[in-house]
Structure 1
Amino acid sequence: MSKFIIITGGVVSSLGKGISGASIGKLLQLNGLKVNMIKCDPYINVDPGTMSPYQHGEVFVTTDGAEADLDLGHYERFLDVNMTRANTNTAGSIYQTVIDKERRGEYLGATVQVIPHITNEIKRRFTAFENEVDVSIIEIGGTVGDIESLPFLEAARQLRLEKGPKNVICVHVTLVPYIAVAQELKTKPTQHSVNKLREVGIEPSMLICRTEKPLSLHLREKISLFCSVPTQAVIECADAKSIYHVPENFYKQKVDEQIIDLLGLTPKQKVDPKWFEFFDKAMTPSKSVKIAVAGKYSELQDAYKSISEALRHAGMNNDAKVEIVFVNTEKDNVEEKLKTADGILIPGGFGGRGVDGKIATIKYAREHKIPFLGICLGMQCTVIEAARNLCGLHDANSTEFDPTTKDPVVDLTPQQKNVVYKGGTMRLGNYTADLEEGSLARKLYGKDQIVERHRHRYEFNPAYVKQLRDTGLKVSGWHEGVLPEIVERTDHPYFIAVQFHPEFGSRPLRPHPLFDGLIKAGLKRKENK
């Protein structure tokens, strides 16, 4: 039977429940156990696909096309397990499922209620991997005490009652703030948070205490006494130099040993320290490279979380520190900010804001021979830039930004033109692309067909492929010979743009080829300056 770890959070949001859960999962993996993770978000949206990044940060896309919370990216990068729809749940999707069942008459005339109908559906999703893994780690989003998360907490309470305390434990992430005026760490917020958790019938087995300063033994004992958690299970979690150091921090405090004991598990192998050693070494690179990320959410770095991580993975692989410079293409003087860049990346996005700045950025990268990678909207802007500045199609645009453009070099497919509902109707998840022999893409990937994750509506209009090829911008990747997936320049040291999202497939020990290529080209440019 699978074991379950429920991850909850208290006091404030953004304490790092996702990183904490993923770090615990990594340690259990290093002990030879099979682990998967599930995220539960308490908002009523069916998924974050229609939400602004200002509301929710990056939307992560699974291989099977689910739009999900950015924590699933952490899960994938730490565990190297591809997430699916079964790994992501929202209150909206759960209520929608229950209401659909009610409309079909599946409840046999019963009054449909939060308990048991909503909580039963939540528990069904909690146990999605019960027969596949040794441990399921379930992160409940939000903060204990929020009204939205109560059904999830109640379902967690019921799960422990049904499965038994040896099979379900709760790890609570909480805050121990430092009050500068008093020069003291305060434990009261943690005490109140645990009391809130107890009010809904859940006793935590372990506390992960987010703190700026080290927790003394005295403070641990105090927290232990007031929260009924063993002193050794009060875990100090200070800000780390890298999120990939958190598992090592937990390992030194015997988090994995304690959890294995609590759940009655048996390790299947001795922990190999190579994971820890890799990241310790990565903290002292011998080189550095500056990459400009040009988008409209420069002040909100969570909007580009997977992009940043993929760049860092590639930097580690090349013994280089990656300095990421965020350029706001809506407000900044892009040419001024790009002067010192060793490489340029334009990420995905939606809407016309900042597009002119992105087009100017691409022109600058093309003319100054700066290594360039365009992703999703970055590829579409690459096509627009070439059409306007090299083909003389001065009105060229995407119909997303100008529905009446005379030259729709980027347009909706016929299927997308008939879409009414916005949520979950884009080209989402894995699609294949065939790579042209002799192309940069083929060289980088080392294979003739690839599978990558997508999240977009608009496509490079194939009617303009020949005109753009004559300017040196060629299509080097096609989906089923119909839709252009990759474009690249033949007159540039490194210039490639893709319709998909390669950042979602990057891993710390296995960087994505397109990001690895960008960092290598950026380092070469820096050496030759």
Structure 2
Amino acid sequence: MARYVFITGGVVSSLGKGLASAALGALLQARGFSVRLRKLDPYLNVDPGTMSPFEHGEVFVTDDGAETDLDLGHYERFTGVAARRSDSVSSGRIYSNVLEKERRGDYLGKTIQVIPHVTDEIKDFIAIGDDEVDFQLCEIGGTVGDIEGLPFFEAIRQFSQDRPRGQCIFMHLTLLPWIKASGELKTKPTQHSVKELRSIGLAPDILVCRSEGPIPQKERAKLALFCNVRPDSVIAAQDLSTIYDAPLAYHREGLDQAVLDAFQISPAPRPELTKWEDVSDRIHHAEGVVRVAIVGKYTQLEDAYKSIAEALTHGGMANRVKVKAEWIDAEIFEREDPAPQLERFHAILVPGGFGERGTEGKIAAAKFAREHKVPYLGICLGMQMAVIEAARNVAGVEKAGSEEFDHEAGVRRFEPVVYHLKEWIQGNHSVRRKVDDDKGGTMRLGAYTAMLTEGSRVAEIYGSSEIEERHRHRYEVDTKYREQLESVGLCFSGMSPDGRLPEIVEWSDHPWFIGVQFHPELKSKPFDPHPLFASFVRAALETSRLV
């Protein structure tokens, strides 16, 4: 039976509960324990799949095809444990499950209420995989006091009472604001947050306090006294120059020891932190800098491309260089020549996205990279834009475009080199989709196999002829243009096992130009950089030496 750590937040949002949870998971692993991390989100969307990246940041996709919160990306990157569908749930999904059961008659005519039916559904979700790991870390989204979070707080209160004594602890993350005018670190917001938590039946065992600097002993003692926790369970979470210092920083503060003490695990196994010391060393002792332009459409919010930013960092670590990524709005290149901006960079990355806005700018970026021999990585839509650019400007398909854009405009403006994916093979069965299907959860989602062409650049990068990568898209490059495109040098170097769906394209006469239909960034980790990103940054580094 697993031990449970429930992570809650207070005072303000965006304090880093996901990062703290991920770092704690990494520290428990370093002590020899197995872990799984889980996210419970109070919003009423069934999942983040239909939410704007400006609202919620990126959508992280699991191997089994779940569209989840971006915090699951932190969990995977820090622990290496592949996230799955059962690691993320929202109020929307919980209520949907309850209502489906009510419609089927599963409740035998009872009046359906938040307590016990909604809370029981949450508890059932929390208990999934109870016997698989030593520790389950469950993060509750939002902050204590949010009305939509109350069913989750009540559920974890009940869950802790249902379990044997000592099987559950609570970790509360808060803010200690520094008041510049008075020169004081204020503990009162944390005291009020804990008071709010205790009013709904939860008492924190550990306080993790975000602050700009160290927490003096006087304030620690005050927090321990008024929040009813042990002094050594008041953990400082100072601002860091990189998130990958978090495991070592939390270990120095004693977070992992405080958790083991709360569970009365003694003697505690000694931690093996060599892996994280190497990660920190590679970041802080980089031997060069490469500049990468990310030409996208959600550039106002960096979290919209969170996994890409982290994967570039990992690629830099693999090459012992620092990657300086600059976000460029693709729409700019629909009005201006991209050359003056892009010639400043050593490499160009065009990420995924939905809708027509900014696509002509992405096509212009792909053209610049092709003509000027600048390393280029196109991901999902970025691959499709590279194919359209090749079709228009090299293969003679002057009106090449995507069915996605014609569908939105309601008129046929393009010759669709990219079409709406209507059928594909998933496992041992066929999946069919229509253009007017619901948007949520209807894409080609999750891990799929791709076969790589022998002797291709990607086969060399992966060191294999068969790979498995995660997808999230509903449009595909049409293979009927394959022969025409390959005749001018754009090779289809990765295909689905049945040969129907293009997975990877690359220019044969370019130093490094690769487009992939999948999302390699989702599987990259600081201690195991994704081979595509490691190779892409290496190509950028070689370009920087030529400049």
Using the alignment, how far apart are the partners of 2:49 and 2:414 within structure 1? 30
Q: Could you report, residue by residue, the CA deviation over 1:264-295 in whole angstroms, capped at 9, with x for unpaired residues?
A: 33578421130232133121111111111110
Contact 1:119 1:155 survives alignment (8 Å): yes
TM-score by length of 1: 0.98
Aligned letter for 1:255? Answer: L
Contact 2:39 2:88 survives alignment (8 Å): yes
Matched, 1:372 2:376: yes
RMSD: 1.2
Structure 2: unaligned runs, 5 residues or longer? 423-431
Q: Which residue of 2 aligns with 1:211?
A: 211
Q: Which residue of 1 aligns with 2:74?
A: 74
Aligned letter for 1:408? Answer: P
Matched, 1:486 2:522: no
Using the alignment, how far apart are the partners of 1:331 and 1:323 within structure 2? 20
Q: Could you report, residue by residue, the CA deviation over 1:142-161 in whole angstroms, capped at 9, with x for unpaired residues?
A: 11000000000000100111
- The within-5 A match list for 1:182-331 is 182-265=182-265, 269-282=269-282, 283-331=284-332
Q: Which residue of 2 aligns with 1:466?
A: 483
- The within-5 A match list for 1:82-481 is 82-265=82-265, 269-282=269-282, 283-331=284-332, 333=336, 334-403=338-407, 404-414=412-422, 415-479=432-496, 480-481=498-499
Contact 1:396 1:405 survives alignment (8 Å): no
Q: Which residue of 2 aligns with 1:510?
A: 528
Using the alignment, how far apart are the partners of 2:269 and 2:450 within structure 1? 39
Matched, 1:497 2:515: yes
Aligned letter for 2:379? Answer: I
Using the alignment, how far apart are the partners of 2:89 and 2:305 within structure 1? 22
Change (3 A) 1:267 1:31: farther
- Residues 367-376 or 337-346, more deviating: 337-346
- Quick one: percent identity of the two aligned structures? 51
Contact 1:327 1:337 survives alignment (8 Å): no
Q: Could you report, residue by residue, the CA deviation over 1:159-197 in whole angstroms, capped at 9, with x for unpaired residues?
A: 111114411111000000112222221111111111111
TM-score by length of 2: 0.95
Using the alignment, how far apart are the partners of 1:3 and 1:366 within structure 2? 53
Using the alignment, how far apart are the partners of 1:514 and 1:389 within structure 2? 26
Using the alignment, how far apart are the partners of 1:90 and 1:167 within structure 2? 24
Contact 1:213 1:238 survives alignment (8 Å): yes
Deviation at 1:468, TM superposition (A): 1.0
Using the alignment, how far apart are the partners of 2:435 and 2:52 within structure 1? 23
Structure 1: unaligned runs, 5 residues or longer? none
Q: Which residue of 1 aligns with 2:545?
A: 527
Change (3 A) 1:113 1:491: same
Using the alignment, how far apart are the partners of 1:91 and 1:504 within structure 2? 25
Aligned letter for 1:201? Answer: G
Q: Could you report, residue by residue, the CA deviation over 1:299-323 in whole angstroms, capped at 9, with x for unpaired residues?
A: 2100010001000011011110111
Using the alignment, how far apart are the partners of 2:134 and 2:267 within structure 1? 11
- Residues 332-341 or 250-259, more deviating: 332-341
Change (3 A) 1:125 1:218: same
Q: Could you report, residue by residue, the CA deviation over 1:372-410 in whole angstroms, capped at 9, with x for unpaired residues?
A: 100000001011111111122221100111231441000
Q: Secondary structure at the match of 1:43?
A: coil
Aligned letter for 2:347? Answer: G
Deviation at 1:249, TM superposition (A): 1.1
Contact 2:178 2:184 survives alignment (8 Å): yes
Using the alignment, how far apart are the partners of 1:317 and 1:386 within structure 2? 31
Contact 1:33 1:267 survives alignment (8 Å): no
Using the alignment, how far apart are the partners of 2:273 and 2:438 within structure 1? 49
Q: Could you report, residue by residue, the CA deviation over 1:191-236 in whole angstroms, capped at 9, with x for unpaired residues?
A: 1111111111000001110111211001111111111111111111
Using the alignment, how far apart are the partners of 2:312 and 2:98 within structure 1? 41
Using the alignment, how far apart are the partners of 1:38 and 1:255 within structure 2? 19
Q: Secondary structure at the match of 1:122?
A: helix
Aligned letter for 2:129? Answer: F
Contact 1:65 1:429 survives alignment (8 Å): yes
Runs ≥4 in structure 1, deviation > 6 angstroms? none
Aligned length: 529
Contact 1:240 1:246 survives alignment (8 Å): yes
Using the alignment, how far apart are the partners of 2:276 and 2:454 within structure 1? 39
Contact 1:398 1:405 survives alignment (8 Å): no
Aligned letter for 2:326? Answer: V
Change (3 A) 1:197 1:440: same
Q: Could you report, residue by residue, the CA deviation over 1:396-447 in whole angstroms, capped at 9, with x for unpaired residues?
A: 1001112314410000123333552111010000111000011011001011
Contact 1:292 1:326 survives alignment (8 Å): yes
Q: Could you report, residue by residue, the CA deviation over 1:16-39 in whole angstroms, capped at 9, with x for unpaired residues?
A: 000001111111111100100110
Q: Could you report, residue by residue, the CA deviation over 1:427-475 in whole angstroms, capped at 9, with x for unpaired residues?
A: 0001110000110110010111110000000000111111111221110
Using the alignment, how far apart are the partners of 2:201 and 2:164 within structure 1? 14
Contact 1:77 1:508 survives alignment (8 Å): yes
Contact 1:419 1:425 survives alignment (8 Å): no
Change (3 A) 1:80 1:267: farther
Contact 1:32 1:268 survives alignment (8 Å): no
Q: Secondary structure at the match of 2:404?
A: coil
Deviation at 1:15, TM superposition (A): 0.4
Q: Which residue of 2 aligns with 1:5?
A: 5
